[in-house]
Amino acid sequence: MNDTIHLDPTDFGSMLTLMDTYGDSDTLYPGTNEEGETVHISIFHDKIVTVTFQKNRWIRKNIYWRDGTREELFEGREPAL
């Protein structure tokens, strides 16, 4: 699949559409956010998971559930180069 995913967490309707359209996919969608940070997006029927590799080396995981619940987790820091 060569689809481009546009993820807007403020648009709940579009998030549901992504879950309905790509929920069966086993593809990890890489991308870049507005801050220039690397983001990995995984889409399931019941949730969308984003992992952001922030410029400050923190790894942030956001989970957007179909019912509107949202989670934000910090999974440590990347080692300094």
Whole-model pTM: value is: 0.88
Measured between alpha carbons, how far is 12 from 1 in angstroms, rounded to an integer? Answer: 24
Predicted confidence at residue 80, as pLDDT, reads 78
Q: What value, to the nearest 5°, has the Cα angle with vertex 72 and ends 16 and 32?
A: 70
Look at residue 49 and give its three-state secondary structure. Answer: strand
Domain ranges of the chain: 12-74
Largest CA distance in the chain: 40
pLDDT attached to residue 79: 81
3-state secondary structure of 16: helix
The predicted-structure confidence for 37-69, as pLDDT tens digits, reads as follows 999 999 999 999 999 999 999 999 999 999 999
Non-local CB neighbours of 16 within 8 Å, separated by 6+ positions: 66
Q: How many CB atoms lie within 10 A of CB 18?
A: 21
Q: What is the pLDDT of residues 69-79, one digit of tens each?
A: 999 999 889 88
